[in-house]
Structure 1
Amino acid sequence: MDVQGKVVIITGASMGIGAATAQVFAEAGAKLVLAARSVDKLDAVAAGLPDGTETLTVPTDMTDQAQVQALIKAARQRFGQVDILINNAGQAAVGAVATVNPDHYRQIIELNLLGPLHAMQAVIPDMRKQGGGVIINISSNVSKMAIPGIGAYASTKYALNGLTLTARNELAADNIRVVLFHPGQTATDFGANARRSNPGDGPRPTSEQAEVMRQPDSAEDVARQILEAALQEPAEAGMPMHR
């Protein structure tokens, strides 16, 4: 989809990949609806966008279905419709399967999996009425790597993969194109914000996996690839694994 003049919702837009995606889509001429929990950070991202960018910021807890529904309603009231939904909000939890905190696991399931589900269910009826749209769910390359220490996080992305690819098939007749995007290791604060069961918890990759993870992509490079995915609408897209 050509994003010029289109209405794009970006969740998790207050930092990292989400903030970079807002910048890239603004430069491409999109109208933006930015969602995250932090009002101040959202406002800072909006203030840094190119002059003339039409932007709405909506503080939203993506684990709260009512707040997500209010987000979609606010976007529709401001701009009339939603053309592209980018489900980017997420958080990691680190720790071995044997010791990971079940409460942490439950919390990231609610954000990483139920958050996108809430948003999809809220936006699909409107996209059907308007004749189509694009939904991009942000997964992760770790869902293809089985790295010790981050099984809980990776499993939420495995589940999101299945949900997304199935939705693509289910919604094709409605001209709603659902895309699964896999970022690789990215130079953001995402890892620092992970939920940790113990202070020393962290991924313990094999030497081959460590080599893949050693050269992180910039958030800006990832954002440009997300824009390309919006333009091309493949079933799956993502960053190449560096070797």
Structure 2
Amino acid sequence: MTGPTTDQSAQKSIDKTAIRDAATVVVLRDRATRPRVLMGQRGAKAAFMPNKFVFPGGAVDTEDATVPLARPLPPLCAARLTEDASTEIAEALAVAAVRELWEETGQILGVPAPWPGTIPSDWLEFAGTGHRPSAEPLQFIFRAITPPGRPRRFDARFFLLDADELASDPDDFHGAADELSHLQWIAVDEIRNYDLPFITEVVLAEVAARATDQTPPDSVPFFRNDDESSLFLRLRGVEMRDD
């Protein structure tokens, strides 16, 4: 009996790529007129989705779970984030969303407030603006796991954010890192002219449906692509009560 070929071994290694929790932020402006979303282009040499136009976002870091939010997620969003997931993940995802938005676009989602204790190294510049991160304006609208066979896999949660909630000038990207280029506000009705990942197109349909409705959706779509099957689920969550 012969062993697996090099290609088969490589494929097996890829299929076992660890799935990392991730947060993505869909910032929306001009909801009542011609809705636009904030996007940028990934580099040609990027390991994940090269050249694609994407929303700001990225993987959760270990340090994210220790960052003190000035204002927490809405209870319903937090409940839905922990459905079919760790009960501790909601706050870390919210922190990651604020951090990735800051790092990749220079935009601030936070409120003026002092930081208690030592400021984590990744947050020194953010804290230097006089703000602490706030998750209160984030609305959880979509979840998707990267299918098997990709060089990197993420369990991505998508948050919708109204640009009016930003504590910064939405047209000022001078503080952005170089991970995304061509940062710009793209009209939703023109966005299909850009090179988009498939999942981004799916999320945009959800965003378009919610552009004029700021109330939480009845449920959140979840594309669950694990190694055994691909499922389409709905996350409803149960809002926790104090009484």
TM-score tier by shorter-chain length is under 0.3
Structure whose alpha-carbon radius of gyration is higher = 2
Question: Which structure is richer in relative contact order (CA contacts within 8 A, separation 6 or more)?
Answer: 2
TM-score by length of 1: 0.25
**More helix by proportion, 1 or 2?**
1
